[in-house]
Structure formats: structure tokens, C-alpha cells
Chains A and B, each alone.
Chain A
């Protein structure tokens, strides 16, 4: 398996534009997590899904952020409109279920100018 795959690896966009980050979890994994990492706030859990269903989105910063998981092999995190303070590395991770290690993708480095 190729592991968790995220795209794009880098994204530079102008303030106000829509940004869509993509994630393909490891096949057979039931849980998917979206994290945001910054120097100031560390690794923050934004939202996670179990069996494609969003379980807890309390970490999503604002209504500008939304996430979907239309099927077991694909998830998106969308920011509309983007702002400079959204600049961070966004990680997607998946695991087979409870009490199992989560595997991380390589992250998307987002820069909003």
C-alpha cells in the first residue's frame, strides 16, 4: 500500500480564494483524521470521520472550513474564503479503528498571501 496520500504537497494562494485539500486514506482503514500544524498551536485535530461519517468537527476553526468524505477512499478539506492565518501544514491520517496507530500522509503546506 502506498500509505496515506495527500495532494497537493504545496499550495500557495491569494487571500479570498477557495482551497481544496485532498486525502486518500489507506485501504481498509475506517477512521480518517484532518490535522493542522503550526509553530504556535502544534498539531490540532480539525475533524475526524468513522466509516465516512463525521464524528467530531469541534476543532474546525470557522464556517470557512468544511470537510467531506463521500466514500471510504477519499476526503476533502475545503477553505472558502482562505485567509493568511490559515497558512499551515495540513495533515491527513487514517487508522483501521480504535486503539490502533494512525498513519499520516506527507502533509500539504498551505501558504495564503
Chain B
């Protein structure tokens, strides 16, 4: 059965800290990995990763994929209170013809 495992489940940091969120997966015929941020309502898209070793970057957020070791990390530098959210990792499988399954998420709290 396909698995997407995120760690840690929750994390509390102070403004200015750097955090690294982890996502490991076991998926039949991997196609892509996606990161989402969920605040109070719907998840919003951050990154899609399909190739190993190529960093995707957007402001203070960056992410990279390792298809050999089957994991991805999401880094947030100089955290701000507005970064507080649940960060979700999802994996798309070719075998499922475009299904998209999520991990349990990491709840990040950034304190002033």
C-alpha cells in the first residue's frame, strides 16, 4: 500500500529560526511530489517536484526531492508568525492514473 509519512508531526519555533520539514514516501510508480500549506481553510499549493536534486525556491521557502532515498524536504528560513500552518506533502502515482495521496501533515507554530 502506498505511504506518505511526514515528520515531525508538530513543531514550535521562534521567529527568525530556520525549519526543515520531512516527507518520505513509498509509492508504486512515483510521478511527482507536491507540498501544500494549509492555514485555516483549503490547502494552497507551494511546490511540485518531479526530478531529484533540483531545488525549487520561492522566497524564504525551498524544497528538494531525493528519488533514490524516497524523500523530500521543505525548508523555511527566517520564519515569521505568518508561516504558522499545517504543511502537507502529497505524492502522485502513475499506477493510480493521477491519484494524489497526502501525508498527515506537519503543524508548524512560529512564536513571536
Which A residues form the contact surface with B (CB < 8 A)? 31, 33, 35, 41-45, 48, 50, 55-56, 91, 93, 95, 97-107
A97 CA / B105 CA spacing, docked (Å): 24
Q: Which of A93, A99, A103 neighbours the largest number of chain B CB atoms within 10 Å of its CB? A: A99
Query: Inter-chain contact count A-B, CB under 8 Å?
Result: 62
Which of B19-27, B57-65, B93-101 is near enough to bind chain A?
B93-101
A106 touches B48 (CB 8 A): no
Contacts of A98 in B (CB 8 A): 31, 92, 94, 98
Give chain B's interface secondary structure class: strand
A96 CA / B77 CA spacing, docked (Å): 32
Given contacts A42-B102, A55-B97, 11 further A-B contacts (CB under 8 A): A42-B104, A43-B88, A43-B102, A45-B99, A50-B97, A56-B96, A98-B92, A99-B32, A103-B45, A106-B41, A107-B42
In the complex, B50 has a CB within 8 A of chain A = yes
Q: Taking A42-B105, A104-B42, A105-B42 as contacts, is the C-beta distance between A99 and B100 under 8 angstroms?
A: no
Contacts of B48 in A (CB 8 A): 99-101
A48 touches B99 (CB 8 A): yes
